[in-house]
Amino acid sequence: MVRSVRARSAAVASLLLLTSCVAPPGAEPAAERVPERYAGQEIAWSDCPHREEPLECGTVTVPLDHDRPGGAPLDLAVIRLPSEGPPQELVGTLVVNPGGPGVPGTGMFHGTAFSPRVRTAFDLVSFDPRGVGPGGALSCGDRYALEDARQDIADTHPRHLDAVDLQPLDDAARRYARSCTETAGEDVLAEIGTVNVVRDLDIIRDALGEEALNYVGYSYGAHIGALYADRYPARTRAMVLDAAVDTDSSTVETALDQTAAFQGAWERFAAHCAATVEDCPFTPGADPDTVADGLFEKLDRDPASADGIPVDGRLLLLMATTALYREEAWDPLADAFAALTREKPDEPGGELLALYEELFGGLGGQEAEPGPGGDHGDPRAAYTAVTCADHASPTGVTEYRDAAAEAADLSPLFGADTVWEHLPCAHWQRAERPPTGFTAPHAPPLVVVGAVGDPATPYAWSRELADRLESAVLVTYEGGGHTLYGSGRVPCVEEAVDAYLIGGRPPQDGLSCPES
């Protein structure tokens, strides 16, 4: 049985990456100044188009090349939800990054997800990182040709692929990487990595009129924040790093870690289904991978209908993968699997439709909305560009084949594609890669939040980051799902982090919040 998550990479893989800066021991290093040309900007806030919330939109200008600030500029879109409280209760501005790479902060921003305490204490702000949005969205070549080449080998275990089998996929990855350079330009791709996003963030902080940054970063956004605290400790006030990413490993090493985490979350879900839903097919002792694969193949032969939406095995696999990110979607997913096992196969439409609407009719309030320009470019291009810039990567297709084989063994459902999606990095142009191993020795107290059952950024990554950052404390949620703070689903996390952001006092290190 070999089945990859065939549609997952375009919809779900927007999670991580690395980067860092090592400060020498001893006295706090002097941070670079905001270039004079970009200092003291005043953001011209205006009402945001296409949004129902009382949001304000604007732009901040940054240099394409921070080492040559006299060169070409970039305009980055920013978005703000003003504080709901009186001026005397305002602590300042809280900048939020929803993750990525390749995710538009202005489109994913939903400030009302935060508690009334936080909305009273802060103006909430997000931004489109370089490479995303109307200020300079990346666009590459034919991504579908690369996806088609992956599909051609999807039903073969990677261990059985020889050089002839791999050549078309490697050629497609090489063409895609070359097209990115030709379309975006060498000068842009050379500056696309996270180290420059962090320098952009400091200019945004200056434009917001804040002496020190308050920040919440999710997943890849946690990496941005950690690097900022290391590089600009004196300009950091409070920082929440939720669902931290690995900052030192290669692309294939992080893919293998993620594969194991997805498999662990899948098995947690299967046990939840068996314990809570009648007719759940994942009975004790049954292999959930084998059971699910049988259902996927059955739907491929005879798709079910959810109010006119054909649900084949590929779509159900995508829905299952997406649902693992959010514990609140586990019950609808369990109901859908149970409905598919009943004697009358034409009856699961209601459960499948409920699951579809739960996942794609709102994504829990986190769906991307149009930003100031209504165009966020190609998120897969930006994701790949930042991934390749930030990580070390193998350069030979056989190294990816060997890692894909290991991933497929770890998880037949989710494994191989988590590796193959990084193959363009084998052919990527050189870019500025941030140093690794940072400890942020001069930063104020930082808070790292992680979930034991996170499918996308393994809990070990949060634990390792909290251990590495000298001033960090770790808050653990014993349940699953990807990212926690601001969702309202774990009051223990919400209360502890709210108090830290507003009052500056971090939670007790090692705080553990029980599964909800």
- Residue pLDDT, tens place only, 395-411: 999 999 999 999 999 99
- The pLDDT of residue 29 is 56
- What Å distances lie between residue 296 and 357, 442, 498, CA to CA? 20, 52, 43
CATH of domain 46-135+192-247+435-513: 3.40.50.1820
Instruction: Find the helix or strand (DSSP H, E) in which 396 lies.
Output: none
Domain range summary for the chain, segments of one domain joined by +: 46-135+192-247+435-513, 142-190+376-427, 251-360
What is the rounded distance in angstroms from the CA atom of residue 256 to the CA atom of residue 485?
26
Return phi, psi of residue 244, to 5°: -65, 155
Q: Label residues 287-321 b or e (16+ Cβ within 10 Å = b).
A: ebbebbbebbebbeeebbebeeeebbbbbbbbbbb
Q: What is the pLDDT of residues 68-118, one digit of tens each?
A: 999 999 999 999 999 988 999 999 999 999 998 988 999 888 888 899 999
Q: Mean pLDDT, to the nearest integer, of 342-351?
A: 66
Burial state string for 39-51 with b = 16 or more CB within 10 A and e = fewer than 16 = eebebeeeebeeb
DSSP-assigned states of every residue in 401-468: HHHHHHHHHH-TTTHHHHHHTTGGGGGPPP-PPPP-----TT---EEEEEEEE-SSS-HHHHHHHHHH
pLDDT tens per residue, range 5-32:
333 333 333 332 323 233 333 445 566 7
Give the model confidence (pLDDT) of 135-180 as tens digits.
Answer: 578 888 777 888 899 999 988 999 999 999 999 999 999 999 999 9
Average pLDDT over residues 500-505: 96
Least confident stretch, 9-18, 354-363, 403-412, 430-439: 9-18
Overall average pLDDT of the 502-507 stretch: 96
pTM for this prediction: 0.90
pLDDT tens by residue, 291-327: 999 999 999 999 988 878 889 999 999 999 999 999 9
Helix (H, G, I), strand (E, B) or coil at 206: helix
Q: Which residue's structure tokens are 């996927």?
A: 296
Q: Which runs of E-coded beta strand occur in 273-364?
A: 304-306, 309-311
